[in-house]
Amino acid sequence: MTPISYDPFARCIRSAAEVTFMSHVSPPTNRQRIYLDNAATSWPKPAGVVEAVVGYLRDLGAPAGRSAYREALQVAAIVHEARRRIARLIDAEGPQRIILTFNGSDSLNMVLHGLLRAGDHVVTTVCEHNSVLRPLNALEKRLGVQVTHVPCDASGRVSPSDLLRAIGPETRLVALTHASNVTGTLQPVAEVGTAIRDRPPLLLVDAAQTAGHLPFSVREMGADFVAAPGHKGLLGPLGTGILYLRPGVEEQLVSTRQGGTGTVSQEEVQPDHLPDKFETGSPNVAGIAGLVAATTFLEQRGLDAIRRHEVDMSTHLIRGLQSIPGVTVYGPSAAEQRVAVVSISAAGYDPSELAAGLDVARRIQVRAGLHCAPRMHRHLDTFTTGGTVRISPGPFTTIEQLDTAITQIAQMIGAR
């Protein structure tokens, strides 16, 4: 069965128009945004992030690693500080283990295209984002890489034993999301990492929905690679990302991009030392400056405190949504088993229509659709009906905002 085809812009415009004229929707009196789309990108940013970006553009404006005048040295210090803070946040062995990229997809592609060869086998899951699924699909077609997609249970959790049983003699890599961007379900990455620590496969963890949201140690989880965007839980600007490399794995990873690094410029081959082996061209220093400010905030507030806040928000949200007749909530009921990502479907509502209606009615901003995770939606049986409505609180979300969203969803569904 083929999925419903959407023109998202036309669909949202039509849905918004429909909702505006529904008699049960009152025009909002408070136009302040209630932003609940943090799984896509975080907003608002912490104090200091915008100032750091503007400060670089206004006061420094120098390239990174290309010159030795005062402002250029200040820029080099900013870039190093970003590596240092990220390494400390995720318990990496040192700043040199952190590659600065342009987003989470960039980080994942660097590993998948740089590691896998013809004849290799990859074990992954149905829970993965297209940032894993699409590179693997391309490698299947181009190199004949074999891929096994392990299913998950009704809550969205993958069994470690199922993953381990899928590993064979040709398995080069296990690619596993740390938390689903659809159900929010936390996956057993540490159990898998421990189990394969002395076996040939390497472990790639997609931490797009966990980095900055909860404390974890890349060493304790046994990860060889950890990829994450800088603009989601890490609270930095778009155009930033990170890739952690366990000591030694860089020798197995081919650089898929070559170019200027500002070092060993007399050579026409890419340097083989870190980070220059994988960082080509001028980095996004404005974004990196913002990332330094964002990670400073995360350190000051503490990941334990952020995790407690998001567990409280998720618990409140799930209970409220489960109390609404006609609403289906996907993923674990216990907030401790997930991140603050909650997907729902509502009887009688197309997901895009419901999302547009929430924005029109109260400026409640959520995301509808397949969330770049088609296999997950096939598993949930939401693929052919337009996916789900995803509600994702962040570190600055309040109970009052969630109550407004819950009440508005109940009113809209009840009136229909």
Q: Is residue 229 part of a domain?
A: yes
- Asked, for residue 42, whether it belongs to a domain, the answer is no
Instruction: Please report which residue ranges of 2-97 form alpha helices under DSSP H.
Output: 8-20, 49-55, 70-90
Same domain, 353 and 255: no
Question: Which residues, in sequence order, are CB contacts of 398 under 8 Å at separation 6+?
Answer: none
pLDDT computed for residue 76 by the predictor: 96
How many other CB atoms are found less than 10 A from the CB of residue 120? 18
User: Considering its fold, how many domains does the chain have in total?
Assistant: 2
On whether residue 80 sits in a domain, the answer given is: yes
Note the pLDDT of residue 25.
39
d(CA 329, CA 48): 36
For position 395, which CATH number holds?
Answer: 3.90.1150.10
**Looking at the predicted structure, is the pLDDT value of residue 4 above 70?**
no
pLDDT band at residue 249 under the 50/70/90 scheme: very high
Determine whether 152 is an active site residue: no
Q: How far apart are the first and last CA of the chain?
A: 28
Residue 202 is classified by DSSP as E
Alpha-carbon distance 236 to 310, whole Å? 18
The per-residue pLDDT for 63 is 93
Q: At CA 40, angle to CA 292 and CA 224, rounded to 5?
A: 65
Instruction: Give 222-276 as a DSSP string.
Output: T-SEEEEESSSTT---TT-EEEEE-TTGGGTPPPS-----SSSTT-SS---STTT
Length, in residues, of the chain:
416
Q: Is the peptide bond before 271 cis (omega within 30 degrees of 0)?
A: no
Q: What pTM, to 2 d.p., does this model score? A: 0.92
CB 327 within 8 A of CB 409: yes
Mean pLDDT, range 71-100, rounded to an integer: 98
Say if residue 285 is in the same domain as residue 308: no
Q: How far apart are CA 390 and CA 400, in angstroms?
A: 18
With pLDDT > 70 as the criterion, what percentage of the chain qualifies? 92
Tell me which of 62-71, 106-115, 315-324, 362-371 is least confident. 62-71
pLDDT confidence tier of residue 7, bands split at 50, 70 and 90: very low
State residue 65's pLDDT score. Answer: 87
What is the arithmetic mean of pLDDT over 280-284? 95
Please count the other Cβ atoms lying within 10 Å of the Cβ belonging to residue 59. 10
- The answer as to whether 322 is a domain residue is yes
H or E stretch covering 309: helix 303-322
pLDDT tens-digit map of 184-200: 999 999 999 999 998 99
Average pLDDT over residues 342-357: 96
Count of CB atoms within 10 A of residue 330's CB? 24
Q: Confirm whether 394 is domain-assigned.
A: yes
Say which CATH number the domain at 172 has.
Answer: 3.40.640.10
Cis peptide upstream of residue 44 (ω within 30 degrees of 0): yes
207 and 180 assigned to the same domain = yes
CA distance 172 to 151: 19
- Print the domain residue range for 341: 8-31+302-415
Confidence of residue 144 (pLDDT cuts 50, 70, 90): very high
If asked whether residues 361 and 394 sit together in one domain, one would say yes
Confirm if 49 and 236 have CB atoms less than 8 A apart.
yes
Q: Are residues 335 and 240 in the same domain?
A: no
Say if residue 29's pLDDT is above 60. Answer: no
Mean pLDDT for the chain overall? 92
Q: State yes or no: pLDDT of 11 exceeds 60.
A: no
- In this prediction, residue 416 has a pLDDT band, given cuts at 50, 70 and 90, of low
Is the same domain home to 292 and 319? no
Mean pLDDT across the stretch 237-264?
95
Same structural domain, 284 and 183: yes
**142 domain-assigned:** yes
The pLDDT-based confidence of 348 (bands split at 50, 70, 90) is confident
| Most distant CA pair in the chain, distance | 71
Same domain, 324 and 211: no
